[in-house]
Structures are given as C-alpha cells and as structure tokens.
Amino acid sequence: MFRQIYRFQLHFCSASLQEIPVSRTTNLQGLAIVAMELALQNATHTLSVIKELRRNETWGHPFASACLRDCDVLYSEGVITLVDAVAVFLEGKYGSAGAWLTAVMDGTTTCEEGFGDMEEASQLTEQNYSVFQLCDVALCIVNLLVSHA
Ligand SMILES: *[C@@H]1O[C@H](CO)[C@@H](O)[C@H](O)[C@H]1NC(C)=O
Ligand SMILES: *[C@@H]1O[C@H](CO)[C@@H](O)[C@H](O)[C@H]1NC(C)=O
Ligand SMILES: *[C@@H]1O[C@H](CO)[C@@H](O)[C@H](O)[C@H]1NC(C)=O
C-alpha cells in the first residue's frame, strides 16, 4: 500500500491539478483517508521509536536528548493532529483537514531542524521523510477536493 501511495504521488499528484476532470475525482475521498491513515500509522510508529531512543539514551549527549524530547512532543501532537484531520475530513471540512496536515508536516520539519541547530546527527531523518511524504500525498488529494468543491 505504501508503494502504491508513493506511485500515486509520482504519477498523479505531481501532475497539474487543474488538468484532472471532476469525473475522475470520485474516489479521492477514499484515497485521502488511506493516505492520512498511513501517515497516522507512521507517525505513531515514529513516536514509539522516539520513546525507545529516549529510553536507550546514555549520559553525555545533552543536546541530542533535548532534541529527542522536543521531537517526542512534536510527534505526540502530530498523532493527535492527524486524528483530528481525519475527523474534520469526514465532516467534509477539507480546508481544515489540509491545515492540520500542514501543521503535522511543520512538526516533523521542526523536529528535524532541531538536530541541525544543535549540530547533532538526526536519528529521525527517515521518519521525517515518510511522515512528511504521506502527509504531502494526503494534502495533495485534499487540495484537489477543495479545488473541485
Ligand atoms: C513508515 O514508513 C517507512 C518508510 O520509510 C516504512 O518502511 C514503514 O513500513 C512505515 N511504517 C508504518 C508503521 O507505517
Ligand atoms: C535500544 O536498545 C536495544 C538494546 O540494546 C536495541 O536492541 C534497540 O535496537 C535500541 N533501539 C533503538 C531505537 O536504538
Ligand atoms: C523531511 O522529509 C521531506 C521529504 O518527505 C523533505 O523534503 C524535507 O526536506 C525533510 N525535512 C528536513 C528538515 O530534513
């Protein structure tokens, strides 16, 4: 499913949104939900990785610890925000769903940048990549629905 979603983004979402006829948007709601569910799964998984990293921590890396603590907060909020995004989406509030997805992407970026600011190697680069990407796919579909509403 993950691969399908990525392919979907490559071949569909990166295309000009305006070129897609309304008749082809009928299943977009379902796809948007799937993308958000995958992002939620991935963010939840990331949170467990963060908790494990924090548990495994050894003394002597105070900056990395601070970054991980921030990321813990950011991804915790991200998980809640994704649940909210699905909820408002189901109510037909596509614009709000898009705003929540953007907030989650900002969160993963802030987490990642935290390591950069502290000149620490990020332990969450792949996680940022996946969660960000999945939110981006969902956002693309949501924007498509907004533009055809
Ligand atoms: C999260 O994304 C990664 C890709 O980097 C993927 O391999 C993994 O299966 C995903 N995990 C979940 C729980 O969705
Ligand atoms: C945490 O430590 C355990 C035991 O050393 C190890 O198996 C595991 O991979 C570590 N987890 C992370 C996220 O580094
Ligand atoms: C997070 O991942 C996305 C790709 O999904 C990438 O474009 C972005 O640059 C990454 N953010 C940071 C701060 O590395």
* Total number of domains in the chain: 1
Of 107, 135, 144, 92, which is closest to residue 5 (Cα–Cα)? Answer: 135
Asked if residue 47 belongs to a domain, the reply is yes
CB of 125 closer than 8 Å to CB of 112: yes
Question: Probe ligand 1: pick from 1, 6, 45, max atoms within 8 Å of CB?
Answer: 45
Q: What is the CATH number of the domain that holds 118?
A: 1.20.140.40
How far is the centre of ligand 2, averaged over its atoms, from the C-alpha of 56 (Å)?
6
Nearest protein Cα to ligand 1, atom 1: 42
Asked if residue 140 belongs to a domain, the reply is yes
The pLDDT of residue 1 is 58
Asked if residue 12 belongs to a domain, the reply is no
Q: Containing domain of residue 63, as a range?
A: 22-147
CB of 39 closer than 8 Å to CB of 145: no
Kindly report the pTM of this predicted structure: 0.83
- The 10s digit of each residue's pLDDT in 103-143 is 999 999 999 999 988 888 888 999 999 999 999 989 998 98
- The 10s digit of each residue's pLDDT in 7-66 is 555 555 654 444 545 555 557 888 888 889 999 999 999 999 999 999 887 666 777 889
What DSSP string runs through the chain? -HHHHHHHIIIIITS-GGGS-GGGGTTHHHHHHHHHHHHHHHHHHHHHHHHHHHHH--TT-HHHHHHHHHHHHHHHHHHHHHHHHHHHHHTT-HHHHHHHHHHHHHHHHHHHHHHHHTT---S-HHHHHHHHHHHHHHHHHHHHHHHH-
Asked if residue 3 belongs to a domain, the reply is no
Asked if residue 17 belongs to a domain, the reply is no
Q: Which residue bears the tokens 């309304």?
A: 22
Asked if residue 78 belongs to a domain, the reply is yes
The pLDDT of residue 82 is 98
How far is the centre of ligand 2, averaged over its atoms, from the C-alpha of 6 (Å)?
29
**Ligand 3 neighbours (beta carbon < 6 A):** 109, 112-113, 128-129, 132-133
Q: Can you tell me which atom of ligand 1 is nearest the CA of 38?
A: 14
Asked if residue 123 belongs to a domain, the reply is yes
- The 10s digit of each residue's pLDDT in 63-101 is 788 999 999 999 999 999 999 999 999 999 999 999 999
Asked if residue 105 belongs to a domain, the reply is yes
Nearest protein Cα to ligand 3, atom 3: 129
Look up residue 64 and give its two tokens: 């990395």
Q: Which residue bears the tokens 């691969």?
A: 3
